[in-house]
Structure formats: C-alpha cells, structure tokens
Amino acid sequence: MDSMNQVIFNQTDSTFFANWAYTIVDDTNFNPDEKRQLIEWFIIRTTDLNQEESYAHFRFRKSIQKTIEGNYKEALEIIDEILPIAKRYHSLIEPGCYNSAGGMIALQGEPELGIIYLKKAIELTPTYHLPQSKIDRALVNHYTTLGNIYSNDTQLDSAEKYVRKSYMMAKQIGIYGTKERCFGVINLGKLFYLKNEIDSSIAYCKKGLQETQIRHYEDLKCFALMRIADGFSKLGKYDSSFHYYHLALDKVKKHKLQRLHVNILYKLAHLHKKLERYEKSTIYFEEYSKLNQEQHKLNKTATSNHLINRTKEQEKTQAKLELHQIKVEEQLKRQQLQIGILTLLALVIILGLFLYFWYQRKELTQQLREQKIEKELIASQIRAVNSQMNPHFVFNALNSVQDLIIQKDIRNSNIYLGKFAELMRKTLEYSQVDTISLHKELETTELYLELEKLRFGDDFEYTINNLLSKEDSDEIMIPSLLLQPYTENAIKHGLLHKKGSKNLKIEVKRQDSIILLSIEDNGIGRQKSTEINSRRKNKPSSFAMQANENRLELIKESSGLDIHLNIEDLTEPTGTKIVLKIPS
C-alpha cells in the first residue's frame, strides 16, 4: 500500500486515473479496506490535479461504499455533488448515479420514484460512445437493481423479467465472477425464494456465493449467506439456517455493512422467537432496535434532502438557459436591424444567421421544456405527501353506506353518501393548495369523523372544541389536510382495538402566539398497538403519519414555519394525546 501511495501521488497522467476509476472495483489485488483507502488517495490526488471527471468517478465509488454500509445520507449527498459534473462530461457515471440514488430512494419507501430513476439510467446508458462491453455491464447492473426494486415491492412478474434479463446478458458477456453477474445470480435466488421454490433459491445463492470468492465482494457474500439462511429457515432446517446467518453476521460486523447487519439481527431475533428461545430473541431484538434507530436517525432526511437538491439544481440550470436565450434573442435583434442597409450578399448572410439563431433558440426552448418537466416530476414527489387518502377508509365508508341501503334506510344512506362525496371533493380540492383556513380544516375533519361514526355506531363518540373565535378560525391559515392523518391514526391504531366506549376529542386553543391543536383518544395506547401489529404477518405501516412528518420537515425548510409535534402516552385511562404547536 505504501508503494501505491507513492505511485498515486507522483502520477499526473489523466489516463492513469481514468483507467483506475473503471477497474478498481474488480481488482483482486486489494481487499475492501485497502480499496477504501485507495479511493481516498485517488480523490485527494485528482483534486490536487484539478482532474474533475476522474475526481467524480472516485467520488462515485465512495458513494457506492457508503450505500453498501447503509449510510444513504452521505451517499446521496455525494451523488448530488457529482451528478452535474457527470452531465457536463457526458460520463457513464451519470446513469450510475441514477441507479444508485434510485435503489436507495426505493429502500427508503419510494419505489415508484426509484423505478423512474432506474428507467432513466437504462435510457441514458446506450447513448455513450464507449466499448460495448462497458455499456453491457452497466445495463446488467441497471436491470439487476430495477428487478430488485420490483421484488422488494412484491411486483414479482416485473422483477422476474428484469432479473432474468440481467442474468442472461451477464452470461452472454461471459465475464465469470463480475459483481454484476454475482448480484444477478443472488437476485435469482431471492426471486425463487419469493416464489416459494426454496431448493432452487438455495442452489442459485450458493452459486452466487461461489462466484463472489473470485474478486472478494464481501457485501455480496453477506447477501448470499443471508439468502441461503432464509431458504434453510423456510425448509425448517434451523441448524443450517443459524449457521449461515452467523457466517453473514460475522462478515457484516467486520466490514461495517450496517443495513445488512440490521436485517440479519431482525431475522435471528424472529427465528429464535419462533423456536421459543425467548432470551436469545430478546438479545437480538435489542441489538436490532438500537442499530435500526441509529440507521433511521442517520437516513431519515436523506431522500427529502436529495429531492430538494435536485429541484434547486434544475432551477439553477433553467435560469442559466433562460439568460442564455435572452442573450441569443438580443443578438438576433441586432442582426435583424442591419438587414435594411446591407447588400444582397449581406442579406443572404443575415438570413443565414437568422436561421442559425432561430434554430439555436428552438433548441434552447426545447431544453427549457425538458428541464421544466423534470423539475415538476421531482416537485410532484414532494407534493405527494400532501395528497394521501387511506383506501381502507374509503372501502369502509362505502360498506357502511351499503349496509344502510340493505337495511332500506334510504334517508340516512343519502345523507352519508352526500357527506362522503363532500369529503372526497374537499380532500381533492385542498390537496392542490399549500394552506387552508383553520375553520375549513376542522370542517373537513368533522366530515371524516361523521363517516367513521357511521362505521362504529354508538360505541364511538367525538367532540371538536374550538376555543378560538370564528373570525380567528377563518383568518388563521395552516397546512392543508394536516389533522386527518393523525385523526385516522388515533382511530386505526388506538380506538379500533378497544372494547366498549371509544372517545376522541379534538381541541383548538391559543397559547400566547402559538395555536395548539390537540387530538386525544381513550384507545389502547401506542405500546399495546405495537404489540398487536407485531403479531400480524403483514405489519401495517402508517404511511400518512410518516408522510406528514416528512411534510412538516419540508414546510420548515421551504417556508420557515416550524410546526412542533408532541405525542403523549396516557395511562389512566389509557390512550394517546397528540399536540401540534403552530406559530400564528
């Protein structure tokens, strides 16, 4: 390593650094820790030499390392930094950035956006003037990642299409033991597992494990070991399952692969629990919880920060294009003023210049249009948190109305259908705006609660106590549809499982310059709800709650409005109280 350090820091040839940028990932002469150190040296040296394109390549390699370690925040920050450089040099790492970012964003709960990123990577890759072998390897990587996103989102037909496509292309390339090929083989094993073809799953994962030995892909070794353990667990061969889980666990600890570490701890905890080894299960659950919280704390703002940075980048690019277009148009006008005083030859020249600048302006307009579309695409992902409506509530409401119709209670069925339609109309209307009055927000919430009362009957009672004046309620503006996710959560996770009287109280009051919005229920409480959900095969996730928390962060960053959320667990009687503190 000392000799490599001297070689790197004595080297000035750009070709040397460009070759290393492409080959370092497959070099078998260095272990993962040594590669990590080499990449740091290359970054320092290319910075000193101002070799921007090679610098971006090595920074991209570092972002891949951070992704493997589970540090999505730093990985996405690096991608935001180098993506403009990649575009400027029309470098193959541009689709690589979309691939890496798409995979991370999908794992953070945005599979649809991740799929968009991967399809963009696939579309861009064939446009580069590079050897076909490099293009094919890049496409194999993109197909594999896209298939993995589909499989994690349980879209198995699409997953199988892309995983098989990547595997067949990797076989045609004929490079045994490349990272892309290893990943493809292991993903085929994962796909067979999801299709409950366990023997095939184990066989493919063992094949992938064997290929990873060639170039020491420690992260893929851990993936393969974990998948093999999953298969043996499914077959009830628990000794074999524990053996492979612990092999994987030792490696993820050694190489600091945090995301895989979290997954393996979770699987071990559940397997011990299944075998009624509660003491060991508790130990693994505690380790899992601690590490998972650290990962969540590190990465909770990674996706939103990335989307905000992409939006800002598009705005800057659009502003530059607009300024360039203005300059081109001004130059065109100056040329047009000379038409009347020039000779026929000058007229022909001016006409040629006119056509040239007209074509240039047309090209710039098209670029502006494309930039605007991309900006709106990213912005729509941010606005998506403002337009969520639980489909289960819609079905429950319609079923309740259907019951009234079956009971021939036409009058009440008409009343509740009208209220349901009004709630849908207001939800769609308010989701298109950033803020609405406090009065309208409370009206919409009450419509929602009236429909829930139809569902629960006399067991459910609610009160809305607004201590503000009508004038203040009309004047105070708050983020639209702010209360509904918290109200829905109180019913779904607190009151739904409670026997007997179910009460929900909403109160609005002012404290100095702060508006306090509280939602209090007498449900079973968060701890009991968590226990119930943990026993279910498919744990429900409160998407609206998480989306609202993301939304509060975005509102704070974009407008400076700092809305504080406080959750209090009630004990006598049990229940939960949520308080939103809104500066007025």
- Here the CATH number for the domain that contains residue 184 is 1.25.40.10
Number of domains the chain is built from = 3
pLDDT (tens digit per residue) in 281-326: 999 899 888 888 877 776 666 555 666 665 666 555 555 555 556 6
The answer to the question of residue 424 being in a domain is: yes
What's the pLDDT at 517?
A: 96
- Give the CATH number, domain containing residue 429: 3.30.565.10
Last residue of a domain, one of 328, 361, 386: 386
Q: At a CB cut-off of 8 Å and minimum separation 6, what does 4 contact?
A: 38, 41
Q: Are residues 413 and 368 in the same domain?
A: no
* 99, 90 Cβ separation under 8 angstroms: no
Do 117 and 94 sit in the same domain of this protein?
Answer: yes
Is 263 inside any structural domain?
no
Q: What pLDDT does residue 580 have?
A: 94
- In a domain, residue 542? The reply is yes
Residue at 96 is within a domain: yes
Q: How much is the pTM?
A: 0.47
Residues 174 and 148 in one domain: yes
Residue that is last in its domain, among 217, 235, 253: 235
Residue 175 is predicted with a pLDDT of 59
In 3D space, the residue among 401, 450, 407, 445 whose CA is nearest the CA of residue 427 turns out to be 445
- DSSP code of residue 481: T
Claim to verify: residue 377 and residue 395 sit in the same structural domain: no
Residue pLDDT, tens place only, 188-236: 888 888 889 999 999 989 988 888 877 777 888 888 999 999 999 999 9
As a whole number of angstroms, the distance between CA 167 and CA 185 comes to: 7
Which residues of the chain fall below pLDDT 50? 373-388, 541
Instruction: Say which amino acid occupies 419.
Output: K
How confident is the model at residue 241, as a pLDDT?
Answer: 92
Same domain, 354 and 435: no
* 66 shares its domain with 211: yes
Q: What is the spatial distance between Cα 83 and Cα 101, in angstroms, rounded to a whole number?
A: 11
**Full residue range of the structural domain in which residue 341 is found:** 304-386
**Measured distance CA(389)–CA(368) in Å, rounded:** 34
Name every residue whose Cβ is closer than 8 Å to that of residue 130 and which is 6 or more positions away in sequence: 92
C-alpha 38/C-alpha 216 separation (Å) is: 16
> What pLDDT was estimated at residue 381?
37
Same-domain check for residues 503 and 523: yes
Same domain, 341 and 432: no
Question: Is 443 found in the same domain as 323?
Answer: no
> Same domain, yes or no, for 169 and 65?
yes
pLDDT of res. 180: 73
- Judgement on whether residues 131 and 10 belong to the same structural domain of the protein: yes
Q: In the prediction, which pLDDT does 107 show?
A: 83
Judge if 425 and 334 occupy the same domain. no
Give the Cα separation of 231 and 516 in Å (integer).
52
Residue 270 lies in a domain: no
Q: Which of 353, 386, 419 is the last residue of a domain?
A: 386
pLDDT value at position 164?
Answer: 86
Q: Is residue 262 part of a domain?
A: no
Tell me: the pLDDT tens digits for 359-407? Answer: 888 888 777 765 654 444 334 334 433 444 556 566 666 776 677 678 7
